[in-house]
Chain A
Amino acid sequence: MTQAQLQESASFAAPSSETGGGNWREYFGFSTDHKVIGIQYLVTTFVFFLIGGVLAEGLRTELATPESDFVSPELYNGLLTVHATVMIFLWIVPGLTGGFGNYLVPLMIGARDMAFPKLNAVAFWMIPPAGILLLSSFFFGAAGAGWTSYPPLSLLDETKIGEAIWIISVLLLGTSSILGAVNFIVTILKMRLPGMGFFQMPLFCWAMLATSALALVATPVLAGALILLSFDLLAGTAFFNPTGGGDPVVYQHMFWFYSHPAVYIMILPAFGLISEILPVHSRKPIFGYAAIALSSCAISFLGLVVWAHHMFTSGTPDWLRMFFMVATMVIAVPTGIKVFSWLATIWGGKLRLNSAMLFAMGFVSMFVVGGLSGIMVAAVPFDIHVHDTYFIVAHLHYVFFGGSVFGIYAALYHWFPKITGHMLNETWGKIHFVLTFIGFNLTFLPMHKLGIEGMPRRIALYDEQFAGLNLVCTIGSYILAVSTIPFVVNAVWSWIKGPKAPDNPWDGLTLEWMTSSPPPVENFRGEPVLVTGPYDYGVGDRSTEVDVPFSDAQDPALAAGPGSALRADPDPSVALHADDRQDPGNSNP
């Protein structure tokens, strides 16, 4: 009897017969069930990931040779703009927050749904039209000013329609993200089950809280920038157009005020997911819970005051450059805390090296590279050299692909059994991991050197001297493309025909494992209770642990309720029966 089983039995898991999700049509309609919406998000965004990947392969194929020979330079710029926009706004942001946030947060905090289920569905249903709209812009000449859409380039007549479409779809996606953030904040603040204080929350919930706060505060400023940009584009005003007296740099400030925090919106939830996955498969408590939780908040706050480090060459005043340099470097501290805590969690564990764990460890490994190059580009003198070069392309892909996407893959392998009720095939999962790992590094590692040597980013044509490494990158990107095939086949096959998943295949301790796979409508049959903390692995006498009997109220050492010796830190607010519970913070009997 492990801790996991102990908690499971205490949480009144619903019998499998009661599980919902029987009707496939539900997934194409306006469902208000957070699990259905979560799956809608995950599947939709994964499709956009594949589309974004196809666009990326177009870019890499063009870059296989120095000349412009595969697509026209105009189309190339359209491809790179839409590639970035799709990957950011239609894959990583909605996939992590909308997908995993929606599916996991209510389950993890023992709630039956999100605070505003209909709003949740509205937020989701803004995504497909926005995505289709964005992709349709290829028929009218897609926006070619990059995802940053810097004026005056974005205001040129050549790509006017494409740019207008880009603005509308990003405004829609931003709105969806804000509505999601409102929902998460209220849900996490108000709907935790009794006895779950903030410091009993799983770390993913902390990450989602920090992420939502950022999305709530930062996204509207982007909306403001885009409103002004659209006036310039369509009504002929001159906010950002120097010929009419406007100032293009103001746009850059407003844009990056959102878009730097957006980096954290894309990575913080992945941090949260990794903090969940590593302890389960290491069979060890997370190392330094409070430090990880609070570092998410620190990153969220600091993330708001570093935006101008994207503008070190924009003629930003010196004192501002120095301020933003120091603020940016400070972020290395909370990020370092997380990385070291994860390593300490793994250290001395009993690692179950399944696909989820491999991707999680791959995440730590790859994210560190992106983090280190991130500190380098925070240093103003070096950033002046590599700004807008392939070094940046390499850096951002190590953060977003090596970080966020590896995190999403790890989470998909980890929660697939819970979400679908079927197990994924492990062999294919490992093949997927190896191919992804090799393809990813082959694609992006050489880009560091290309950038430092002098290759600017966003170019369709480049000098002969960069040809060799670019070819390597292109070959790597093909491997990366191929690597998704085992995953897609595995996922589709397993969803339909895979072996049935038990309720708690990984012996996890967080509440989502305490209900059936997939969970029933409204998640729990009874009122779930907290009998252990989310990471209390191995707590108790290790040599006899496997023989621990069911919770026994007569024996204080085995009682699951208050004062249980099984708890690392007995908490009177966590009692089996509602009558025994006390308010958190009022610990006197």
Chain B
Amino acid sequence: MSIFTILLRTVLGIAVAVLVVLLSLWYGQNHGLLPVQASEQAPLVDGLFNFMMTIATGIFLLVQGILVYSLFVFKRRRGDNSDAPPVHGNVPLEIVWTAIPTVIVTILAIYSFDVYKAEGGIETMTHPAVAHVHHEQPFTLGSAAYAATLPESDALLAQSMEMPGAVEGSSQIEVSVAALRYGWLFSYADLPDVVDGELHVPVGREVNLKITANDVNHAFWVPEFRLKQDAIPGRETVIHFKPTRVGQYVVRCAELCGPYHGAMNTNVIVHTPEEYETWHQEQLVASREAVHETVAVAPVQTAQPAFLAAHVQELGIQPATLSAFRSAMAHSHQPAAVEAKGNS
């Protein structure tokens, strides 16, 4: 082999490597797979995903490239029935390809851990540190995308911070969530007699959900928030999040709960602080008017997709059960029928 061919091959090799790296970096940021970010947690998760996508694209291109290259270059020549050179292994090479994945997964584990911590761990509701999350970059490599989205959410955050506390005392919104086939019931700590089929939250405020289920397992999932938590009968699970984008998003049940599992959707409406205050007042008034009569005209039905309403009978939700359930909910802020063991 002449110096020239060696040189040419080296240059080609480097060029391909650079191309793979550039393609991975580009695709890692431009895959367009993720829905909009509507919570403080979303940019963190997306940063992690983009980072993983970058690495995955690189490995994908490498492996597929080798396979396709081999398909053409190492194809057996016609008439050649001999064997290929006997290479049984190469210890340094094997060490390298053991070490590189080890390093990658170590970085990935640390990064994931960081994101998880920054998200507030989902474990407790007492996590005042979450507000600072923005300013510590969990990991420099992959967080470009999420850093880029920061100004917007920061601005929203700042805006909401300036608003005087809409609700007396706590700055957190506490909501109890009960999942039942095939709907969601939300009751608010500061709206004693209201049970609602949709979730209303103001932008920029920390929201705590205490979730349980009344019949079978369900899961509370808002894709735009990148958050999901199972609703398990007999247990109370907790998630918290801070919505950062005004709008209406779909809450989906993400744990098989029966034939109409796919229709178990409702909305989470992220209000501007003013809108939220208006809604809050309306609810207060409405609930006072309705005291002890028919409890809260909560739009459980309207929250369901239209076709579901037609099936209420089949679904086994008797209107009577539902209203009985609602009143039970209204009287104790805790979801009814749950001997909550208070799993930590």
CB within 8 Å: A-B pair count:
293
Q: Does A282 sit at the interface, judged by CB under 8 A? A: yes
* B108 with A379: CB separation less than 8 A: yes
Tell me the chain B residues, 248-286 only, with Cβ under 8 Å from chain A: 250, 252-263, 265
Of all chain B residues, the one with the shortest Cβ separation from A315 is B237
Residue from B226, B235, B263 in contact with A315 in the complex, judged by beta carbons closer than 8 Å = B235
Contact of B66 among A246, A346, A379, A381 (CB under 8 A): A346
Residues of chain A with a CB closer than 8 A to B217's CB: 150, 152-153, 248
Most chain B C-beta atoms within 10 Å of own C-beta, residue among A150, A291, A372, A379: A379
Closest to B215 in A: A152
B4 within 8 A of A: no
Cβ–Cβ contact B89 & A287, under 8 A? yes
Q: Are B232 and A384 in contact (CB under 8 A)?
A: no
Q: Which of B81, B109, B122, B257 contacts A153 (CB 8 A)?
A: B257
Contact check, B257 vs A248: say whether CB atoms are below 8 A apart.
no
Cα A367 to Cα B233 in complex, Å, equals 37
Contact with A along B64-93 (1 / 0, CB 8 A): 101100110011110011111111111001
Given contacts A376-B52, A449-B33, A333 and B84 within 8 Å (CB-CB): no
**How many Å lie between the Cα of A337 and that of B100 in the bound state?**
10
CA distance A72 to B314 in the complex (A): 12
Of B44, B80, B88, B260, the residue contacting A285 (CB under 8 A) is B88
How close is A54's CB to chain B, nearest CB, in angstroms?
21
- B81 and A242 form a contact (CB under 8 A): no
Is the Cβ of B223 less than 8 Å from the Cβ of A454? yes
Q: List A49-67 residues whose CB lies under 8 Å from chain B.
A: 67
Q: Does A448 contact B (CB under 8 A)?
A: yes
**Min CB gap A197→B, angstroms:** 16
Decide if A542 touches B85 in the complex (CB within 8 Å): yes
Contact A343 B63 (CB under 8 A): yes
**A50: min CB distance to chain B, Å:** 26
Q: What chain A residues lie within 8 Å of B195 (beta carbons)?
A: none
**B27 interface contact, C-beta 8 A:** no
Task: Please name all residues of chain A whose beta carbon is closer than 8 Å to the beta carbon of B75 when the two chains form the complex.
Answer: 351, 353
CB of B227 within 8 A of CB of A384, answer yes
Given the interface pairs A337-B94, A385-B223, the reply to whether A284 lies near B56 with Cβ below 8 Å is: no
| Cβ-defined partner of B261 (8 Å) among A243, A289, A348, A458 | A458
In angstroms, how far is the closest chain B Cβ from the Cβ of A386? Answer: 9
What A residues does B325 contact at CB under 8 A? none
Stretch of A34-42, A400-408, A460-468, A581-589 at the chain-chain interface: A460-468
Whether, in the assembled complex, A538 has its beta carbon less than 8 Å from a beta carbon of chain B, the answer is: yes
CB interface residues, B 85-130, toward A, < 8 Å: 85-90, 93-94, 97-98, 101-102, 104-105, 108-109, 111-113, 115-116, 119, 121-123
B192: interface (CB < 8 Å): no
Asked if B216 lies at the interface with its beta carbon under 8 angstroms from chain A, I say: yes
What residues of chain B lie closer than 8 Å to A140, measured between beta carbons?
none
Task: Looking at the assembled complex, report how far the CB atom of B110 sits from the nearest CB atom of chain A, in whole angstroms.
Answer: 10
Contact mask A339-364 → B, CB, 8 Å, 1/0? Answer: 11101101111111100000001001
In the bound assembly, the distance between CA atoms of A77 and B252 in angstroms comes to 18
Given contacts A73-B260, A243-B233, A379-B112, contact A452 B33 (CB under 8 A): yes
A333 touches B216 (CB 8 A): no
Residue of B56, B83, B228 near A3 (CB, 8 A) is B83
**Are the CB atoms of B221 and A456 closer together than 8 Å?**
yes
Q: Does A91 contact B (CB under 8 A)?
A: no
Q: Which residues of A contact B90 (CB under 8 A)?
A: 287-288, 344
Q: How far, in Å, is A476 (CB) from chain B's closest CB? A: 18
Taking a contact as CB atoms closer than 8 A, the residue among A288, A352, A364, A380 that contacts B76 in the complex is: A352
The yes or no answer to A537 lying at the interface (CB within 8 A) is: yes
- Give A382 to B311 CA distance when docked, in angstroms: 35
Asked whether A333 and B98 contact (CB < 8 A) given A368-B59, A545-B82, the answer is: yes
Closest chain A residue, CB of each to CB of B53: A376
| Chain A contacts for B94, CB-based, 8 A | 288, 291, 337, 340-341
Residues from 180 to 217 in A contacting B, C-beta threshold 8 Å: none
- Determine how close the nearest CB of chain A comes to the CB of B1; give it in whole angstroms: 15
Q: CB of B339 within 8 A of chain A?
A: yes
In the complex, how many residues of chain A place their beta carbon closer than 8 angstroms to a beta carbon of chain B?
Answer: 102
Shortest distance between the CB of A449 and any CB in chain B (Å): 5
Contact present for A315 and B257 (CB under 8 Å): no
Residues of B within 8 A of A73 (CB): 259-260, 262
Identify B70's interface contact among A248, A286, A347, CB under 8 A. A347
Contact at A332–B261, with CB atoms within 8 Å?
no
| In the assembled complex, A571 has its CB within 8 A of some CB on chain B | no
> Which of A110-118, A218-226, A322-330 lines the interface with chain B?
A322-330
**Total chain B interface residues with beta-carbon distance under 8 A:** 89
What are the interface flags for A555-589 relative to B under an 8 Å C-beta threshold, 1 for contact and 0 otherwise? 00000000000001000000000000000000000
Q: Nearest A residue to B88 by beta-carbon distance?
A: A285
Using Cβ atoms and an 8 Å threshold, which residues of chain A touch B84?
282-284, 348-350, 537-538
Bitwise, A431-464 to B at CB < 8 A (1) or not (0) is 0000000000000000011001110111111110
B26 interface residue per 8 A CB criterion? no
Question: Do B256 and A347 have beta carbons less than 8 Å apart?
Answer: no
Tell me whether A339 and B63 are in contact in the complex, defined as CB-CB below 8 angstroms, given that A318-B123, A387-B254 are known contacts: yes
- CB distance A347 to B74 under 8 Å? yes
Within the complex, the shortest CB–CB distance from B78 to chain A, in Å, comes to 11
- A22 located at the interface, meaning its Cβ lies under 8 Å from any Cβ of chain B in the complex: no
Select B48's contact among A353, A379, A448, A459, beta carbons within 8 Å: A379
Closest chain B CB from A572 CB (angstroms): 19
Asked if B5 CB lies within 8 Å of chain A CBs, one says no
- Among candidates A153, A318, A452, residue contacting B121 with C-beta atoms closer than 8 Å: A318
CB atoms of B63 and A388 under 8 A apart: no
Question: C-beta contact mask, A57-90 vs B, less than 8 Å → 1, else 0?
Answer: 0000000000110001110110000000000000
Smallest beta-carbon distance B329→chain A, Å: 18
Partner of B254, one of A2, A382, A389: A389
1/0 contact string of A309-339 vs chain B (CB within 8 Å):
0000111011001100110011011001101
A78 nearest in chain B by CB position? B259
* B33 and A448 contacting across the interface, CB-CB below 8 Å: yes
Residues of B contacting A376 with CB < 8 Å? 49, 52-53, 56
B199 within 8 Å of A by Cβ?
Answer: no
Residue of A nearest to B113 (CB): A322
Q: How far apart sit A65 and B76, CA to CA, in the bound complex (Å)?
A: 47
State whether the Cβ of A369 lies closer than 8 Å to any Cβ in chain B.
yes
Considering the chains assembled together, what is the distance between the CA atoms of A456 and B221 in angstroms? 9
**How many angstroms from the CA of A348 to the CA of B90 in the assembled complex?**
14
Within the complex, which residue of A76, A247, A284, A373 is in contact with B83, where a contact is CB–CB below 8 Å? A284
Question: Which residue on B lies nearest to A458, using beta carbons?
Answer: B256
Q: Which residues of chain A have C-beta atoms less than 8 A from B344's C-beta?
A: 317
Q: What's the least CB distance linking A170 to chain B, in Å?
A: 17
B101 surroundings in chain A (CB, below 8 A) = 332-333, 336-337
Select which of A146, A242, A454 is within 8 A of B252 by beta carbon.
A454
Please measure, in the bound complex, the distance between the C-alpha atom of A310 and the C-alpha atom of B258, giving whole angstroms: 20
Q: Does A228 contact B (CB under 8 A)?
A: no
Given known pairs A284-B85, A381-B115, A382-B49, the reply for A452 and B66 (CB within 8 Å) is: no
Measured in the bound complex, the distance between the Cα atoms of B338 and A545 in whole Å is 78
Expressed in whole angstroms, the Cα–Cα distance for A290 and B98 within the complex equals 13
User: Nearest residue in B to A288 (C-beta to C-beta)?
Assistant: B89
Q: Name the distance in Å between A199's Cβ and chain B's nearest Cβ.
A: 12
- Check if B201 is an interface residue, CB within 8 A of chain A: no
The reply to whether the CB of B170 lies closer than 8 angstroms to some CB of chain A is no
> Which B residues contact A (CB, under 8 angstroms)?
33-35, 41, 44-45, 48-49, 52-53, 56, 59-60, 63-64, 66-67, 70-71, 74-77, 80-90, 93-94, 97-98, 101-102, 104-105, 108-109, 111-113, 115-116, 119, 121-123, 215-217, 219, 221, 223-224, 226-230, 232-235, 237, 250, 252-263, 265, 307, 338-339, 343-344
CB-based closest 4 A-B pairs: A242-B234, A459-B262, A538-B83, A454-B223
List 14 contacting pairs A-B, 8 Å CB cutoff, sorted by A. Answer: A2-B83, A77-B259, A248-B232, A285-B86, A289-B89, A329-B108, A330-B105, A332-B101, A350-B82, A376-B49, A376-B53, A452-B34, A456-B262, A538-B83
* Besides the known contacts A315-B229, A325-B109, A368-B59, 8 further A-B residue pairs in the complex with CB atoms under 8 A apart: A146-B256, A153-B256, A153-B257, A317-B123, A336-B101, A376-B56, A460-B259, A460-B262
